[in-house]
């Protein structure tokens, strides 16, 4: 087995200057115990993880282990779509939504064991505005929060700042009028957000689509209708409880193809990474397009 590890040296480490060396040491020891040849690469900028993953695939890597957050995983995983290479995860970001869906442990040693010894599993891949996502993509409020969160300097992120930004923007954000087409059926909605979920949660336990599965051939589409500020916060408790369907402002659908249109620019995110579209976004699904390592036994609900 040819193994390449792609490590984000600053993801989830705060001010620890030794994080990169410590992560490399754990990777080398895990590979040594299994008699594997391992090449370690470190990211140094946005987009670098994808470049490194593309190079790994060209070099014949059969397993690409990615140590980082959702953004790093999205970049690297995008290069593995439709290839024979398998993606292994060591979650180190603020959300880690894909890792949660796969039930990959947060502990690095346990995550490395899953990455090296787990069961390969094919999962679906969503595509929004031409950009792949593996966990959740969306337009509206969650995209705004993602943009502001990503604008924070490395070392100033984490779960608590995400909550603070969410509360602040929950008081400010105003929904928009959208035309939403789901598998050919069209509706007009005034939405606070529209999410397209392959996995269950954004991360940190915020479950927008608790019944979503990574390999069922559909996306769970959640439309949160715009409401008064106090109502928003009252209904937001359902994210933590995993019961968004109980909120009267939430409508759940399933679809493999969608189009979102509005009268102006659309702020969107794919796995927490930002984008802007003119006035129309298309969302589609690629069934079973990415192979990932899931912990044994292979009974993950995803």
Asked whether 92 and 69 are in contact (CB, 8 A), the reply is yes
Per-residue pLDDT tens for 87-128? 999 999 878 899 999 999 999 999 999 999 999 999 999 999
What are the tens digits of pLDDT across the range 273-292? 999 999 999 999 999 999 99
What does the pLDDT look like over 3-14, one tens digit per residue?
A: 999 999 988 766
Rounded distance between C-alpha atoms, residue 259 and residue 277, angstroms = 12
Choose between 238 and 31: higher pLDDT: 31
Strands 280-294 and 119-128: antiparallel
Report the range out of 33-37, 201-205, 233-237 with the highest average pLDDT: 33-37
> How confident is residue 159, by pLDDT bands cut at 50, 70 and 90?
low
- Tell how many helices (H) and how many strands (E) occur in the chain: 8, 15
pLDDT greater than 60 at residue 302: no
Residue 144's H or E segment, with its range, is helix 141-150
Pick 204 or 182 by higher pLDDT. Answer: 182
Please identify which residue in the block is written with the tokens 């927008």: 208
Q: Residue 162 has what pLDDT?
A: 63
User: What's the pLDDT at 14?
Assistant: 61
Contact 111, 283 (CB under 8 A): no
Strands (E), the chain: 2-7, 37-42, 63-68, 86-91, 119-128, 131-133, 136-140, 176-182, 185-197, 219-225, 250-255, 257-261, 266-270, 273-277, 280-294
Residue-level pLDDT at 37 = 93
Specify which of 174-183, 195-204, 230-239 reaches the highest per-range mean pLDDT: 174-183
Which tens digits make up the pLDDT trace of 50-94? 999 999 999 999 999 999 999 999 999 999 999 999 999 999 987
Each residue's pLDDT tens digit, 136-158: 999 999 888 888 877 766 655 55
- Cα separation, 220 vs 205, in Å, equals 17
- Residues β-bridged to residue 3: 38, 63
Joined together, the tokens standing for residue 221 give: 């589409």
Cα(13)–Cα(250) distance, integer angstroms: 36
Of 60, 75, 61, nearest to 7 by C-alpha is 75
Domains of the chain: 2-117 (3.40.50.10330), 131-287 (2.60.200.40)
C-alpha to C-alpha distances, 95 to 36, 106, 141, nearest whole angstrom: 30, 11, 16
Give me Rg for the CA atoms of the chain.
19
Could you count the other beta carbons within 10 Å of the beta carbon of residue 31? Answer: 20
φ/ψ bin of 129: left (φ > 0), alpha (ψ from -120 to 50), beta (otherwise) = left
For residue 298, pLDDT beyond 70: no
CB atoms within 10 A of CB 46: 12
Strands 119-128 and 131-133: antiparallel
């Amino acid at each position: 087995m040819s193994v390449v590890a792609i490590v984000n040296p600053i993801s989830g480490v705060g001010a620890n200057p030794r994080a990169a060396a410590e992560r490399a040491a754990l990777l080398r020891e895990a590979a040594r115990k299994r008699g594997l040849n391992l090449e370690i690469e470190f990211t140094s900028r946005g987009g670098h993880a994808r470049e490194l993953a593309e190079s790994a695939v060209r070099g014949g890597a059969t397993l690409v282990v990615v140590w980082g957050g959702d953004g790093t995983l999205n970049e690297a995983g995008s290069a593995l779509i439709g290839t024979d290479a398998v993606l292994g995860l060591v979650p180190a970001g603020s959300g880690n939504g894909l890792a949660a869906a796969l039930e990959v442990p947060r502990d690095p040693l346990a995550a490395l064991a899953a990455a090296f010894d787990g069961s390969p599993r094919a999962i679906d891949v969503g595509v929004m505005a031409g950009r792949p996502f593996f966990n959740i993509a969306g337009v509206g409020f969650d995209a705004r929060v993602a943009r502001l969160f990503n604008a924070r300097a490395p070392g100033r992120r984490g779960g608590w700042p995400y909550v603070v930004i969410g509360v602040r923007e929950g008081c400010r954000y105003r929904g928009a009028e959208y035309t939403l087409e789901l598998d050919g059926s069209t509706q007009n909605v005034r939405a606070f957000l529209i999410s397209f979920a392959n996995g269950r949660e954004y991360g940190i336990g915020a479950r927008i689509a608790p019944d979503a599965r990574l390999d069922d051939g559909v996306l769970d589409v959640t439309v949160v209708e715009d409401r008064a500020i106090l109502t928003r916060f009252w209904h937001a408790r359902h994210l933590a409880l995993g019961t968004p369907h109980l909120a009267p402002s939430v409508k759940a659908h399933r679809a493999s193809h969608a189009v979102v249109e509005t009268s102006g620019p659309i702020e969107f995110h794919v796995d927490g990474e930002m984008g802007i579209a003119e006035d129309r976004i298309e969302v589609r699904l690629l069934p079973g397009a990415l192979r990932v390592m899931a912990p044994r036994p292979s009974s993950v609900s995803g």
